[in-house]
Amino acid sequence: MTEAAQTREERATALKGLGTARKRVEDVRFTQGKGNYVDDIKLDGMLFGDFVRSPYAHAKVLSINTEAATALPGVVAVLTAADLEPLGLHWMPTLAGDKQMVLADGKVLFQGQEVAFVIAEDRYIAADAVELVEVEYEEQPVIVDPFKALEPDAPVLREDIRDQLEGAHGPRKHNNHIFTWEQGDKAATEAVLAGADVVAEEMVYYHRTHPCPLETCGCVASMDKVNGKLTLYGTFQAPHAVRTVASLISGIAEHNIRVISPDIGGGFGNKVGVYPGYICSVVASIVTGKPVKWVEDRIENLTSTAFARDYWMKGKIAATKDGKITGLWCHTTADHGAFDACADPTKFPAGFMNICTGSYDIPTAYLSVDGVYTNKAPGGVAYRCSFRVTEAAYFIERMIEVLAIKLGMDAAELRRINFIRADQFPYQSALGWEYDSGNYHAAWEKAMKAVDYEGLRAEQAKRLEDFKAGKTRKLMGIGLTHFTEIVGAGPVKNCDILGLGMFDSCEIRIHPTGSAIARLGTISQGQGHATTFAQILASEIGIPADDITVEEGDTDTAPYGLGTYGSRSTPVAGAATAMAGRKIRAKAQMIAAYLLEVHDDDVEFDVDRFVVKGAPERFKTMKEIAFASYNQAIPGVEPGLEAVSYYDPPNMTYPFGAYVCVVDVDVDTGVTDIRQFYALDDCGTRINPMIIEGQVHGGLTEALAIAMGQEMAYDEIGNVKTATLMDFFWPSPFETPNYQTDWTTTPSPHHPIGAKGVGESPNVGGVPCFSNAVHDAFRPFGLTQTNMPHDHWRVWKVAHDLGLHG
Amino acid sequence: MIPGVFEYHRPSTITEAAGLLTRFGDDARVLAGGHSLIPMMKLRVANPEHLIDLQDVGELKGVSITSDEISIGAMVTQHELIQNDALASAVPIIREAALQIADPQVRYVGTIGGNVANGDPGNDMPGLMQCLDASYEVAGDKGTRRIAAREFYEGAFFTALADDEILTRIVIAKPQAGSGYAYEKQKRKIGDYATAAAAVIVGPGIGSIAMTNLGDTPIWSAGANDALAKGDVDGAVNAVMAAISPASDNRGPAEFKKHLAGVILRRAIERAQGRAN
Amino acid sequence: MSKMHVKMTVNGKEVEALAEPRMLLIHFLREELNITGPHIGCETTHCGACTVDLDGKSVKACTVFVAQANGANVTTVEGLVNDDGSLSVLQEMFREHHGLQCGFCTPGMITRAHRLLQENPNPSEEEVRFGMSGNLCRCTGYQNIVKAILAAAAELNAAREAAQ
């Protein structure tokens, strides 16, 4: 069929643009094992680095003897803090304005901390040499409890900042205190609480966990001494920021550093931060003149790079006796571990925890967060999360349930009464955010209808009757959640990391034959950017997605951007892509008008071409326009067809969703069976429904893991109890249920194509939903709050403490 | 996670293997499927200087079934146990238990001999073998002998197997016709060891119970068996409960495991009784 | 550290090398042979990213010494493509049903699923979930992986029937 003979619909379909369940272009290589991940990189003469790590959570380092290790054939060098100190690299800045030891400088502050770096010819020799490094420690008292850390006589963990009363985020009130962050109106909130009909109060703990992508963190540093150029390959979610940080701390000019993120085997926030392994590899490459590879093993990954959560959230929620919420108060004690290595925008030391009013119209609220040091690994990253929105969502969705219990109300109805109404958007929250758009009631009713909520409650009541009559030992729980996300960081006016504004970018070149390359400042870790960004562009510029290459992750070629985390790629880089596409289209319009010999205003864009208004038979396709841009001298128009956009979003986007979970709980064994999970997501305009559904499945499964067993647990002397996948709960296909997915579409009014982002929603909404389901099963017996994870023994303990074992 | 250096041996007979063990003594370990030993070596918790790989020792393979006895070679994998229909019809509890061990990949290489000989209280087969009153044939330079499974386990990772002996076969008397069986295991997920597991054989005048991961060795009690044989389920459960001493770990505190052990055991007995005729 | 002479068939080709006996099969494949499809995920036999087919069995190559694999026949995901270099039905179904995201678990998943379908050409969903339970994925939540394997089974069975 010729182009001219195609209908408009056929031409649109051929583009595989917005809304198409386009198959992923990445998969051809991945399915045959031809991905290129960092550990697949092999350079001539490459050496391997491996760490000596602390077995203790808190100890003085009295001596390090590297003699035997250095003498081992094949060992090139062993670095300690003493070697890094002259370079000023024995400490490094963290993303949160703190500093962190690269290698132990006189003491260690968590189990698994980096003490020395061995460089050898292969990873086997390196591992042998690690065993030969002798370190003498003197154990110190360990603090793993953030509340104990703040006691007056608690041991001082961070000697380096002892008695410094000012931190990166304001005054410090104790040697183990990092910051206090306050939002909202304290006095007004306290007044509301004092005068309320009903106040429900609870401590909600979101336990420490870990992003644990299947691929661990790693890098290959290669210093070319001839050209003075450093190339750093690594598992970086923010390659451009890594380049800038590397330049600032190494003193190598930024144009002489090339950072490349190859294929990344999952990130989930684990790969945002800067780790000692990167610094040591770079130093080692500079020292040896050879490429140096460092790749964590799983134990190192879980114990040393980037934990998440660990928030103790004390809440008070006030309401009228009819259930209208009048105020919310929250004080959070945040365990940051040994160094504050959170990856939050600078002005938000507790991330977007101030989204904790959730989906509800709460007129008055107050939040305060105390950051605290303990003898645990540093981090506090946004694990499949936009900067603490998971904690916030868990907090408010638990508090709603707690309030429903106090009021004796149905929790679905309580939510209904308090949702922000569709006519209230844009909605100004009491804690400072402007929600862009939403229709919560519509989503909620759709969800309730889809699961037959009344029917489920009736079945639950019958089950309870049977349980009380001794006919069954299984209780049924119905978990509800309506979450509101805040993603797409963010507006440069209030969002930066290390002073770098959180815009993002896209650069497009149209080739003479009408195909194109788009380069972005983000980096896919499985989200399928090469597929979806081409779809955005296809719809914007009328070139088929199949003819558009999307490239990311090479700082020498891609435009500067802040990377991929916090569901920011679609809201920010996706917007940049659309805006750059529109610049292309504007120029194409001028070219088309010239070719058609009409005025610019007399042509209009039509799917894949410009047509003369009122004369659709007169047109120029984008392919023809592309060629013309290279071979025709058009007065007043530069040759070529390229555009770049740096997009500074005017606001965040606010995806939302309504989830329902049905669980059976065996009170005698603590075994839970998720027998139904319904997830309705509203992520605004849907770019690729297939990919959206995949993101939802994946996020829900991580939520399942977190809610039902996955934790970073420490014993009282700071030993990590969950350092391998034996104990770190990661469900297999056998423990994972099927999910029902659904959607509504409420476009973002400020995003060029109305998209909001989806990758993190299911994790944000999933955790409270699973957790609420377990809580709900025990509600008739008086349970108001129990801490996650809801693994077998903890669920059993709940039943036991409620007297259900006779 | 990189193992230390060792010298590798691949004998093709039991005699040859036993000779190597005698020669290298404490410095040597035999390697069957390796899925217990190799992770320990990668963590450098185990550092043998000599590894004696038994994969080529034909005498350690195969399952033979006679009218009253079953003999299983130590190198028979869990996967082979599951696939063997004749075995499943003779002693069905073996398939039921093997399916609950580790995951498919591990079952392709994990062997019954490795599982029973290691003395790991988390392993499922030792308890099952005690329930079945199996015997282990062991061979050394000094000859061969048989050890009852019920007398084999002395402590966590301590067994009656001498350093220079190799466990070669497992011999099981065919369970009495009409008996029912069940292997009931609670674990956190696929690939995990049991939080509590129970192997039960029950029938007219017959009762046998063993439990896993509730002490340093499998839990087996003559009193429990007697009680169960008489149909006294409470008595049997009480006898087993008196014998367990679970340790607190990530699977839960001892208090939980004690309670769970009783629940799991009762469920196993009930299921086994349902299968008896 | 004495090295041993190792010989095996990998993806249909005879290979020979000198290697330390302690070298793990996964490192031998990835570093000596540059076969980087199988990945290293957990190193404790839980995740299955390193799954290869060894003498007709799915095994986790992170927990096999190269010495043990001496003489063996090994197939990795690279060896599963059709002879003409096109994607196999299983590989194509993973793509068709969005059974992968970051792609890191995919080689192990596909290699394991290949063996599963050899042994059980017509599995139920439950059997797929149980048969794949030695492989972990952090991205997909498995639903589409299961769908892909069931679809591949159906297509392979249809092709077999048509051929008869």
Q: Is the pLDDT of residue B237 over 90?
A: yes
Residue A158 is among the residues annotated as catalytic for this protein: no
Please report, to the nearest 10 degrees, the dihedral formed by the alpha carbons of residues A573, A576, A578, A580 taken in order: -140
Q: How far apart are CA A616 and CA A612, in angstroms?
A: 6
Q: A–C: how many Cβ contacts below 8 A?
A: 176
- Asked if C42's CB is within 8 angstroms of A724's CB, the reply is yes
pTM summary value: 0.97
**Residues of chain B neighbouring C64 (CB-CB closer than 8 A):** 34, 38, 109
Enclosing H/E stretch for A117: strand A114-120
In a domain, B1, yes or no: no
State residue A321's pLDDT score. 97
CATH number at residue B46: 3.30.43.10
- Asked if A123's CB is within 8 angstroms of B4's CB, the reply is no
- Asked if A732's CB is within 8 angstroms of B190's CB, the reply is yes
Region A19-34: mean pLDDT is: 97
State residue A216's pLDDT score. 98
CATH number at residue B190: 3.30.390.50
What would the pLDDT profile of C65-92 be if each residue is shown by its tens digit? Answer: 999 999 999 999 999 999 999 999 999 9
Facing B106 at nearest CB: one of C1, C67, C134:
C134
Name the residue range of residue B41's domain: 7-53
CATH number at residue B158: 3.30.465.10
> Does one domain contain both B49 and B76?
no
Helix A575-596 and helix A622-631: axis angle, to 10°? 70
What would the pLDDT profile of A34-64 be if each residue is shown by its tens digit? Answer: 999 999 999 999 999 999 999 999 999 999 9
> Does one domain contain both B159 and B237?
no
Which ranges of A325-452 does DSSP label H, i.e. alpha helix? 389-407, 411-418, 440-451
Sheet holding A504-510, edge to edge: A548-552, A516-520, A504-510, A642-647
Region A526-547: mean pLDDT is: 97
Q: What are phi and psi of B88, to 5 degrees?
A: -65, -30
User: Given CA atoms A155, A158, A160, A161 in this order, what sign does their dihedral have?
Assistant: negative
Q: Is the pLDDT of residue A685 over 90?
A: yes
Q: Which residues of B touch C (CB under 8 A)?
A: 1-8, 10, 31, 34-35, 38-39, 42, 51, 53, 55, 79, 102-106, 108-109, 190-191
Q: Is the pLDDT of residue A2 over 60?
A: no
A8-35+504-647: which CATH number, 3.40.50.10420, 3.30.365.10, 3.40.50.720, 3.40.50.300? 3.30.365.10
In a domain, B224, yes or no: yes
Q: What confidence category does residue B87 fall into, taking pLDDT thresholds of 50, 70 and 90?
A: very high
Q: How far apart are CA B50 and CA B23, in angstroms?
A: 10
Domain final position from B117, B140, B173: B173
Mean pLDDT for chain C overall = 97
Q: Which of B189, B237, B267 is the mutation pick for testing A, counting most A CBs within 10 A?
A: B189
Beta bridge partners of A505: A646
What would the pLDDT profile of A271-327 be if each residue is shown by its tens digit? Answer: 999 999 999 999 999 999 999 999 999 999 999 999 999 999 999 999 999 999 999
Nearest to A519 by CA among A645, A692, A650, A623: A645
Q: What are phi and psi of A339, to 5 degrees?
A: -135, 145
Q: How far apart are CA A262 and CA A477, in angstroms?
A: 44
Q: Which CATH code for domain A38-140+216-264+271-304?
A: 3.90.1170.50
Residue A263: DSSP 8-state:
B
Residue A134 is among the residues annotated as catalytic for this protein: no
Q: With beta carbons less than 8 A apart as the criterion, state whether B167 and B117 touch.
A: yes
Which ranges of B71-124 does DSSP label H, i.e. alpha helix? 78-83, 85-90, 92-98, 104-109, 112-117
Q: With beta carbons less than 8 A apart as the criterion, state whether B168 and B138 touch.
A: yes
Q: Which of A20, A24, A32, A532 is the mutation pick for testing C, counting most C CBs within 10 A?
A: A32
State residue A1's pLDDT score. 40
Q: How far apart are CA C39 and CA C61, in angstroms?
A: 9
Q: How far apart are CA A18 and CA A465, in angstroms?
A: 50
State residue C164's pLDDT score. 86
State residue A3's pLDDT score. 52
Residue of B nearest to A123 (CA): B2
Residue A384 is among the residues annotated as catalytic for this protein: yes
Domain boundaries, chain A: 8-35+504-647, 38-140+216-264+271-304, 385-488+652-801
Q: Does A457 touch chain C (CB under 8 A)?
A: no
- The number of folded domains in chain B is 3
- Asked if C51's CB is within 8 angstroms of B1's CB, the reply is no
In a domain, B78, yes or no: yes
Domain final position from B147, B173, B199: B173
Q: Is the pLDDT of residue A806 over 90?
A: no
Q: How far apart are CA A666 and CA C87, in angstroms?
A: 45
Say if strands A642-647 and B206-212 run parallel, antiparallel, or are unpaired: unpaired
Residue A140 is among the residues annotated as catalytic for this protein: no
Nearest to A690 by CA among A11, A8, A26: A26
> Does one domain contain both B220 and B144?
no
Nearest to A60 by CA among A18, A19, A106: A106
Q: What are phi and psi of C28, to 5 degrees?
A: -60, -45
What would the pLDDT profile of A107-120 be if each residue is shown by its tens digit? Answer: 999 999 999 999 99
State residue B142's pLDDT score. 86
Structural domains for chain C = 4-78 (3.10.20.30), 89-163 (1.10.150.120)
Six-digit token string for C99: 């059974």
> Does one domain contain both B159 and B225?
no
A38-140+216-264+271-304 and A385-488+652-801, same CATH topology = no
| CB-based contacts of A803, cutoff 8 Å, min separation 6 | A781
State residue A4's pLDDT score. 55
What would the pLDDT profile of A235-259 be if each residue is shown by its tens digit? Answer: 999 999 999 999 998 899 999 999 9
Q: How far apart are CA B235 and CA A778, in angstroms?
A: 32
> Does one domain contain both B159 and B193?
no
Say if strands A474-484 and B206-212 run parallel, antiparallel, or are unpaired: unpaired
Q: Give the neighbours of chain C: at least 3 Cβ pairs within 8 Å.
A: A, B
**Residues of chain C neighbouring B102 (CB-CB closer than 8 A):** 45, 134
ipTM above 0.85, yes or no: yes
What would the pLDDT profile of C2-55 be if each residue is shown by its tens digit? Answer: 899 999 999 999 999 999 999 999 999 999 999 999 999 999 999 999 999 999
- Asked if A791's CB is within 8 angstroms of B188's CB, the reply is yes
Residue of B nearest to C128 (CA): B104
In a domain, B2, yes or no: no
Among residues A384, A388, A398, A568, the one annotated as catalytic is A384
Say if strands A365-372 and A325-335 run parallel, antiparallel, or are unpaired: parallel
Domain final position from B20, B35, B53: B53
- Asked if A805's CB is within 8 angstroms of B252's CB, the reply is no
Would you state the CATH architecture of domain A385-488+652-801? Answer: 2-Layer Sandwich (3.30)
Q: Give the distance between the most distant pair of CA atoms in chain C.
A: 56
What percent helix, strand, coil does chain A show, rounded to 5? 30, 25, 40
Q: With beta carbons less than 8 A apart as the criterion, state whether A520 and A558 touch.
A: yes
Residue of C nearest to B35 (CA): C63
